[in-house]
Amino acid sequence: MTPGIDGETLDGMSIDKIEKMRSLLRAGKYKFSPTREVTIPKPGKNEFRPTKVGSPNEKIVQKAITQIMEAYYDPLFQDVSHGFRPKRGIQTALTQIDSNFQSMRWVMEADLRKAFDSIDHNKLMNMLKRDIKDDKVMALIKSGTEAGYLDEIGKFHESVVGTPQGNITSPLTCNMFTNEFDKYIEELRKEYETVGNPRVLTREYKDVTNKMKQYKWSMEKGEEITVESQEYFKELMKDTMKTDRVDYENRPIKIKYVRYADDFMIGIEGPYKLAETIYNKMDKFLRDNLSTELNKEKTVITDMQKSPMKFTGFYMKSMEANEKMMERMKISDRLMMRRKKVRTSFFFDYEKTLKRLIEKGFIRWRPDKNNSGKNMMLRGRFKGNLMNLDHMDMVNYYNSMMRGLYNMYNMCRNMNNTARMTWTLEESYVLTLARKFRTSSMKKVYDKFGKNLSARKMVDNEVKTMDTFRPDSYERKSMKTWKKVVNMVNPEDLTRINWNRKYTKSNLFEKCVICNAESNIEMHHVRSIKTMKDKTKGTDFFTKQMSKINRKQIPLCRDHHMKTHRKKTNAAEIKTYKRSVSN
């Protein structure tokens, strides 16, 4: 319902309007109008990001373009690319890091400066010309990139470079550009990688192990074993744990790369100078070929053996050399001691996730009554904006949050923190139910709905039941579990939206909710639910009812749609409407 510069919204969308768009597209006469620029705050920062607001009607055309182009271009993208792609996401990127980055010594974490805003239109059109031979399609895409925009004071600006953030085609366009960068990194990999013995040991490690061999040889020769000699041998064993085993400077070079949107990581198994060389070559390639550059403030080269790194909101840590130790391993019914294998571990940003849940009003800090209020504890709090949902929708909403947290973080070392957050979310759910059903305590809510807080609803003469999500255990899972999950929802994204499945329950092919007419169906849209609730006084009956059930759209025939806007609906029509929206 956010209007473009023409003031139009999706209110009144119909099959007839879709057909008119299609006719213009087929004739090659469809033109995109300029967008409207607005600035929005960046989450957690005192910065603002410019975004472009286009006409809602034109977004339908953008979506159609994206679906067609994505089907062709996505199979051409490199396997190392994970952002804005079907069946890929943060999970597949981290799974690839877990598989390929374990032996990397130097890891470069970087991103592209203003990746969306720096795309050169001429270079983009030249890329498209290699594959698209239809002049109408090329003219349509060109119309979208060169439409321009109006700033916040109404001044028109031409689009010279960049693809607007907020445009549905922008993520795909960005991937087409960065795919050229992906191919360049593959060329660097082939240029610098070498073959040879991967188990090159450091001189220090060899010295320690040679002393251990000499000690064992003297014992075999019959030298007396004393307390001092045993302590000497134990110290040598400890030294092997504290000494770097692999000689990264002289072992065969390996290069690994993974990218998510405009963030990427390059792992280098080799000398530090090589990491600097690759950094300089990448920056030159981006400037010369893609009209962008590395974000110097966010680009760092880290020793993975000593320092943690952050990528797509996750921390990656490897145990330091002096923390390595021996482990017991049973081989052929014998317990053997060996140097423990240390893998890179993943941690999620617990404090950031917690802060987001607090900001959105799901949980809060409050004094601990069991400790005379001296300590603060996390507790759930009721969500007033969810009280008008029916019980089934409410449990579905909270389940999406709790399941999202668990599925997203169950392979992290600190995943036990998800148990705490899941419980506080369940407490928020119970307190919201208590307000909705006017119950005085949480205990009475559990007594009323059972320990699973089950919601029941009659659908097609059958009783459907939905229980509250609770995982079987909070034990850390293997990264392999993520390989079975496709397009997992980031719980941080879930907290940013007022989710409700009723928002898109209706569509243009349904009947009018008042007269059951099947032709000339239009969608009656309203603005945000929050706006409706703030201004229900004096608004029409339909808007009041839709605000109560959190539904943003309903199908109406053109006649009743016009009556709704003119506030001309009669008592019988209102009664029919009440009956339809309650189902």
- What are the pLDDT digits (tens) for 181-193? 999 999 999 999 9
Residue 111, pLDDT above cutoff 60? yes
User: Can you tell me the mean pLDDT for 458-470?
Assistant: 86
185 and 262 in a common domain:
yes
Residue 291, pLDDT above cutoff 50? yes
User: Can you tell me the mean pLDDT for 199-226?
Assistant: 83
Helices (H), 130-243: 135-145, 170-192, 203-220, 227-242
pLDDT at 56: 83
In degrees and rounded to multiples of 5, residue 35 shows phi and psi of -95, 175
CB 175 within 8 A of CB 77: yes
The residue among 101, 134, 161 that closes a domain is 161
317 and 447 in a common domain:
no
For residue 404, give the DSSP letter: H
CB 121 within 8 A of CB 161: yes
Residue 275, pLDDT above cutoff 60? yes
For residues 541 and 532, give the distance between their C-alpha atoms in angstroms, rounded to a whole number.
12
Closest C-alpha among 286, 345, 277 to residue 317 = 345
Amino acid at 201: L
Tokens 């470069």: give the residue.
Answer: 108
pLDDT at 24: 92
Residue 353, pLDDT above cutoff 50? yes
In degrees and rounded to multiples of 5, residue 430 shows phi and psi of -65, -45
pLDDT at 215: 83
3-class secondary structure per residue, 415-443: CCHHHHHHHHHHHHHHHHHHHHCCCCCHH
Secondary structure (3-state) at 229: helix
Residue 320, pLDDT above cutoff 80? no
pLDDT at 378: 87
492 and 374 in a common domain:
yes
Residue 266, pLDDT above cutoff 90? yes
CB 119 within 8 A of CB 162: yes
| CATH number of the domain residue 89 falls in | 3.30.70
**Angle (nearest 5°) at CA 50 between 42 and 139:** 135
For residue 252, give the DSSP letter: P
Secondary structure (3-state) at 103: coil
pLDDT at 335: 65
Residue 578, pLDDT above cutoff 90? no
What does each C-alpha distance from 229 to 150, 212, 213, 484, 526 come to in angstroms? Answer: 82, 11, 13, 53, 84
pLDDT at 504: 43
To the nearest 10 degrees (0 to 180), the angle between helices 272-289 and 170-192 is: 140
Average pLDDT, the chain: 81
Lowest pLDDT segment from 81-95, 202-216, 220-234, 256-270: 220-234
232 and 184 in a common domain:
no
283 and 267 in a common domain:
yes
For residues 14 and 18, give the distance between their C-alpha atoms in angstroms, rounded to a whole number.
7
pLDDT at 464: 87
Residue 582, pLDDT above cutoff 60? no
Question: pLDDT-based confidence at 209, cuts 50/70/90?
Answer: confident
Residue 425, pLDDT above cutoff 90? yes
Number of domains in the chain: 5
Secondary structure (3-state) at 322: helix
CB 253 within 8 A of CB 269: yes
The residue among 453, 469, 501 that closes a domain is 501
Please report the DSSP string for 462-522 in residue order: EEEEEPPP--S--PPPPGGGGGG--SPPPHHHHTTS---GGGGS--TTSPPTTT---SSEE
List the structure tokens of 222: 């019959």
For residue 554, give the DSSP letter: E
Q: Who wins on pLDDT, 529 or 569?
A: 569
307 and 413 in a common domain:
no
pTM of the model: 0.75
- What are the pLDDT digits (tens) for 365-419? 888 777 666 788 889 999 988 887 888 888 988 998 899 889 889 888 888 899 9
129 and 104 in a common domain:
no
CB 514 within 8 A of CB 580: yes
Secondary structure (3-state) at 175: helix
To the nearest 10 degrees (0 to 180), the angle between helices 135-145 and 56-73 is: 120
Lowest pLDDT segment from 173-182, 203-212, 229-238, 351-360: 229-238
Question: pLDDT-based confidence at 531, cuts 50/70/90?
Answer: very low
458 and 416 in a common domain:
yes
Lowest pLDDT segment from 264-278, 336-350, 393-407, 434-448: 336-350
How deeply is 405 buried, as exposed, middle or buried, from its count of CB atoms within 10 A (0-12, 13-18, 19+)? buried
Residue 221, pLDDT above cutoff 90? no
179 and 322 in a common domain:
yes
Question: pLDDT-based confidence at 243, cuts 50/70/90?
Answer: confident
pLDDT at 292: 87
CB 554 within 8 A of CB 524: yes
The residue among 486, 501, 516 that closes a domain is 501
For residues 90 and 82, give the distance between their C-alpha atoms in angstroms, rounded to a whole number.
7
- Please measure the distance between the N-terminal and C-terminal CA atoms of the chain and give it in whole angstroms: 25
CB 508 within 8 A of CB 499: no
pLDDT at 411: 87
Q: Which domain holds residue 379?
A: 356-501
Which strands, in side-by-side order, build the sheet including 106-111? 254-260, 263-269, 106-111, 300-303
221 and 143 in a common domain:
no
For residues 75 and 70, give the distance between their C-alpha atoms in angstroms, rounded to a whole number.
8
User: Can you tell me the mean pLDDT for 462-468?
Assistant: 89
134 and 46 in a common domain:
yes
For residues 545 and 577, give the distance between their C-alpha atoms in angstroms, rounded to a whole number.
9
CB 145 within 8 A of CB 161: no
Please report the DSSP string for 112-156 in residue order: BTTTTTT-BHHHHHHHHHTT---HHHHHHHHHHHT--EE-TTS-E
Residue 308, pLDDT above cutoff 70? yes
321 and 280 in a common domain:
yes
